[in-house]
Structure formats: C-alpha cells, structure tokens
Amino acid sequence: MHLPWRPRGGAWSAAVPVVLALAGVLFVASGRTAQGTDLQASRTTGLSGLIVAEQLQASRLAATERSLADRVAALTARVGAGEQAVATLQAQAESLGSLAGLDPVSGPAVVVTLNDAPRPTAGRTPPGNPTPDDLVVHQQDVQAVVNALWAGGARGMSIMDDRVVATTAVRCVGNTLLLDGIVYSPPYVVTAIGDPSRLQLALDESTDVQIYREYVAAFGLGYAVTTPGSTTLPGYRGPLELSSAVAAP
C-alpha cells in the first residue's frame, strides 16, 4: 500500500539543540546588557527623570522672567517719574526765565524819556541860579522812574534798550549813565510793558518822580511820557551777578 510522504523525525530532532543553544546565547547577552536590571523599567525611569529636570528648568526660567519683568516695570516707572520731574522743572525754568527777564516780552508800553537841561549860554544865568548838578539827570532820577513803573505793574522793562533784570544796577558817572558796564549819554529812555493807565498813574503818584518834575519845571530838564502801543522787549543776555544792586522786584 502506497502511503503519502511525511518528514522524518530525525531532521527536526537534530535542529532542536541548535535552537536551544542560540536561545541561551540571547539570554546571556540580555542579562549582561541589563546588568541584572529590567530594561523596560530603566527606560521609564530615565524618561521620568528627564521630565522632572525639564520641569525644574522651566520653573527656574519662569521665575527669572518674572523677576526681569518686575525690574523692567520698576525701571519704566522710574523713567516715567523722571520724565515728569524733568517736565516740571522745565516748566518752572520757563516760568522763572520769564519772571527774571530772560525771555522776550511783548505788549502795550509806556516810554519815559529823561534829559539834561539845555546848557546856559554865555552871559546868561538860568532862573533860580542853579548849580551844574541841578541841570543834569542823576542816578536817583532814573531809579525813581524805574521803581514807579515796577510799582505800576510793569511786566518787563528796558533802559536804553537794555533789558532790566533783578541784578541791573543803575549808576551815574558824571552826567553819563553806567548800565551793565555800558556808558550811555542822555537822553535816557525807559520802556515798560504793562497797562499804560496803571503805569502812568504810578508815575504821577511817585514822590521821587514828583521831585524830579519840580526840577523839570524850575530848570528845564527833560521829561516826556509816551505810549507807542504794542512793543517787544528782548530777553536779557548779559551776565547775572547776584552781588549787583537790585533794580527790579
């Protein structure tokens, strides 16, 4: 009877030892690589540690960012306060500059002109037998006009087109006027910016100006008041010396 072919058991039996030997080699290699530990557990532990380290680093960076943001905010606030302080000081400086006469000033004006009396001609004696000093404008005469105009509310003033400030000193040398180191000869012109009515009234009510006007009437000294309308006085550009006599309030 013919039977179908089937593999012989002898060939498989011969291969079994080889397979077992290879499996043993793999087990030994795995044991040496893992060094007695669980390979899968090692990978999990390493990944968890990396995550924790990254989280700590992220926390440190976030804290640093918050600290820097706080410093930026503080510096910004300081800069803002500094800018406000600078703006305030600038406004104060501008206001003081105007009050001190360092800035130009414009407005209606009153102009007062003072002049020496005409020189007597040879052989003729002026009425009242005046002395030479009676016929010239003196320091106190110019100062009387200046003081009266300040009292009348002048917002700015000039003498001989030279701006009058708190340190301006009015001095006479002989029959000349010394003003901020410059010598002027008569007639002397004083210009004041302000309400013309108030300025004129202040001149009329000044006792010292009234005394000068008595000499005007007696000996012919010059005294004239005009209102030229809107006028601009330049700002003071000379040196400021606090030791000088005060001519302005």
Q: Which of 127, 118, 115 is nearest to 190 (CA)?
A: 115
Residues 44 and 146 in one domain: no
Over residues 150-178, the pLDDT tens digits come to 999 999 999 998 898 877 778 877 778 88
Whether 193 maps to a domain, the answer reads: yes
Residues 151 and 219 in one domain: yes
Give the pLDDT score at 19: 47
For residues 24 and 192, the model is more confident at 192
Residues 205 and 155 in one domain: yes
Instruction: Report the distance separating Cα 9 and Cα 178, nearest Å.
Output: 143
Residues 54 and 80 in one domain: yes
How crowded is residue 90: how many other Cβ atoms within 10 Å of its Cβ?
10
Over residues 65-101, the pLDDT tens digits come to 677 778 888 877 777 666 666 666 555 555 554 555 6
- The DSSP annotation for 4-30 comes to -----HHHHHHHHHHHHHHHHHHHHHH
Q: Which domain holds residue 86?
A: 38-99
User: How would you classify the pairing of strands 105-115 and 188-193?
Assistant: antiparallel
Region 19-23: mean pLDDT is: 49
- Does pLDDT of 8 surpass 60? no
- The CATH number covering residue 183 comes to 3.30.70.1880
Q: Which of 192, 189, 213, 201 is nearest to 101 (CA)?
A: 192
Residues 225 and 167 in one domain: yes
Distances, alpha carbon 77 to alpha carbons 2, 42, 44, 67, in Å: 107, 53, 49, 15
Residues 66 and 167 in one domain: no
Q: Which of 195, 193, 229 is nearest to 106 (CA)?
A: 193
Q: How many domains does the chain have?
A: 2
Residues 84 and 140 in one domain: no
